[in-house]
Amino acid sequence: MPKKPQRRDVLCGGTALLAGGLLGIGAGSRRALANNHPHPHEGSLDYIDPKTYVAGCEVHNHFKGGPRIGGKSQMMAIGKRRYLFTGGQVWDVSEAASPVLINGKAFVGRQVQLAFNKKIGKWILMTGAAPPPTSSKPGAPNGKYDDPGLIDSVLNYRGLRGVRIYDATDPANVTLLSMWSCDQGDPTRAVQTGGGTHRNYYDGGRYAYLDASPDNSFTHMESPVRYYTNCLQIIDLEDPAKPKFVSNWWFPGQRADEKAAYRQWREYGDRSSFTAAHGGFYVPRRVEDGGKYCYCSYGSFGMTVHDVSDPKNPRLVSRWRPPYLPGAIPFHTADVSWLDRGIVIGTAETLNPDCNEPFHDNYVLDMRDVANPKPIAAFGRWATPDAAPYDDFCNKRGRFGTHNPPHLKAPGRRHKSFIGYAAFNAGFQFMDFSDPANPKMDGHFIPASGGTMDNPASFNRVGDGLFVEWDRRLIWAFASTGIYLLSHPSLGKPDFAPRAVSEWSLPGLNAGHDGG
């Protein structure tokens, strides 16, 4: 295992590749469980760490939430009331220190996307649905390659493979408007084709952007954790009750009948690389408002930029690929919240517990020229707390690596230098991003792992998701042990009182939601 990094060396910024500064820089359904099969090694703990570690931030509250809490979350507002949607539940968090569960079974599906559609005057919620993954397990450490029955369970899966669209205008009574199957067939069929969808984006405009496997031909997925390889799909939600297909886009070789192109991949036959999209297009400015570029995290194919000014014909503008290291998801998220400074942050996702795969770094990319992305920094490895009984998170047990940044859509404007990450067994890590070429550690919150040793899935995802209310200076941290309310001094004094949202993190986002 690697030597424990020193705090001054972690997040040191990697190699600065630009002579000048970046824009604005002075002197951040079914759950994809990945692999639950443990891989202990010499130095691994033989117990679950029961301790909590807090540095540079404050914990104000902790509540259990429910068995499906974790992962993605979204927020809506009505006057001074704020509602957090996560894990099928709706919480009134207007009084932030005393959240109230108002709807425990509000919706079905994960990968929550929620936004106000001004044209129809409704809050629209979209959730994803997919067959189960083909993750590893004892007796089948290589997932689908060791146990073809895992593939059969995907092919024969009964249920939606697509998205559900809800009217969430009344958060206490969320109602289903429609369903969409990514294969464009009847969404009520018992057995559909393709892999459904995993991680999507919707901002209240006309179009929704899906990470989807449209039919049974999309099978050139090297990673053992999935059978299908996802591409990019755009659907029209001008009438959310009647979704319409717009387009699909994929790299040549993803489909079974594209064998010649498939053989040209650097990943061809490695049985480890994540050769699929992991997230739909992030479109910072809506196409109907003059937006043009979108950004996608496309696994081992890298971070891509597309021109979607014609949504029926997305055009690849550029991409940037990290070094070839088979395994994990090299590009899990493209964080475009820093585009006002010419930056996109690409984060990886670990799939195997106990660091049983190559370490994939997180990269800061200069995107001022969308046709020529350039790396300017790499995060490095998170440092362990001094009081921890391990000198590297690889020895803690569970998955170690960055997962989710705060979501692009949130109340208020993103802070100029603060950024945080959910980081699996490293909990929640915070950084000073005032100089993107030299990001620095700025605190952490690592809750007790929870779970039991005989159930690896119970402690694999300690830190799972983050949602930041920029205007109230509050951090909602979603962990395997519940929901935590945090604050960080760089954000300023937290505000726990009800407060109307005067602006959102993207221009035009949720415009008119307050009746204005």
Residue range 252-276, pLDDT digits in tens: 999 999 999 999 999 999 999 999 9
Render pLDDT for 329-378 as a digit per residue (tens, 0 to 9).
Answer: 999 999 999 999 999 999 999 999 999 999 999 999 999 999 999 999 99
CA dist list (Å): 386 to 82, 336, 459, 489: 38, 33, 21, 21
Under DSSP, is residue 245 helix (H, G, I), strand (E, B) or coil? strand
Average pLDDT over residues 73-99: 96
- Which residues share a beta bridge with 55? 444
Render pLDDT for 41-58 as a digit per residue (tens, 0 to 9).
Answer: 999 999 999 999 999 999
Contact 511, 117 (CB under 8 A): no
Return the percentage of the chain with pLDDT > 90, whole number: 84
114 vs 84: CA distance, rounded Å: 10
Average pLDDT over residues 236-242: 98
Closest CA to 203 of 128, 279, 278, 283: 283
Closest CA to 316 of 268, 367, 251, 221: 251
332 vs 302: CA distance, rounded Å: 9
Which tokens go with 367? 């995107």
| Residue 279, pLDDT score | 82
| Residue 111, pLDDT score | 87
| Residue 24, pLDDT score | 33
**Count of alpha carbons within 13 angstroms of residue 316, beta-carbon side:** 16
| Residue 34, pLDDT score | 64
Average pLDDT over residues 424-432: 96
| Residue 37, pLDDT score | 80
Burial class (CB in 10 A: 0-12, 13-18, 19+), 153: middle
Render pLDDT for 479-505 as a digit per residue (tens, 0 to 9).
Answer: 988 999 999 999 999 999 999 999 999
Closest CA to 417 of 501, 338, 507: 338
* pLDDT band at residue 250 using 50, 70 and 90 as cut-offs: very high
Which tokens go with 5? 């990094």
Q: In order of start, what are the domains of the chain with their CATH numbers?
A: 53-491 (2.130.10.10)
| Residue 275, pLDDT score | 98
Under DSSP, is residue 411 helix (H, G, I), strand (E, B) or coil? strand
pLDDT reading at 21 higher than 70:
no
| Residue 9, pLDDT score | 40
Angle among Cα 81, 82, 85 to the nearest 5 degrees reads 140
Render pLDDT for 172-212 as a digit per residue (tens, 0 to 9).
Answer: 999 999 999 999 999 999 999 999 999 999 999 999 999 99
359 vs 330: CA distance, rounded Å: 9
| Residue 68, pLDDT score | 58
| Residue 69, pLDDT score | 64
pLDDT reading at 476 higher than 80:
yes
- Which residues share a beta bridge with 297? 303
- DSSP 8-state assignment for residue 173: S
Q: What is the dihedral of CA 282, 213, 326, 354, to 10 degrees?
A: 80
Angle among Cα 79, 80, 83 to the nearest 5 degrees reads 95
| Residue 14, pLDDT score | 39
Mean of the per-residue pLDDT values for the chain?
91
Return the percentage of the chain with pLDDT > 70, whole number: 92
Cβ within 8 Å of residue 81, ≥6 positions away: 92, 94, 498
365 vs 341: CA distance, rounded Å: 11
Under DSSP, is residue 259 helix (H, G, I), strand (E, B) or coil? helix
Closest CA to 437 of 495, 487, 363: 363
378 vs 400: CA distance, rounded Å: 17
User: Concatenated DSSP letters for 477-493?
Assistant: EEETTEEEEEE-GGG-S
| Residue 82, pLDDT score | 98
pLDDT reading at 63 higher than 90:
no
Under DSSP, is residue 276 helix (H, G, I), strand (E, B) or coil? coil
336 vs 175: CA distance, rounded Å: 31
Render pLDDT for 23-47 as a digit per residue (tens, 0 to 9).
Answer: 333 322 333 456 778 889 999 999 9
pLDDT reading at 472 higher than 70:
yes
pLDDT reading at 215 higher than 90:
yes
| Residue 67, pLDDT score | 58
Render pLDDT for 288-303 as a digit per residue (tens, 0 to 9).
Answer: 999 999 999 999 999 9
Which tokens go with 360? 């994939």
| Residue 326, pLDDT score | 95
**Count of alpha carbons within 13 angstroms of residue 15, beta-carbon side:** 3
365 vs 377: CA distance, rounded Å: 7
The identity of residue 271, as a single letter, is R
Which tokens go with 392? 């590297």
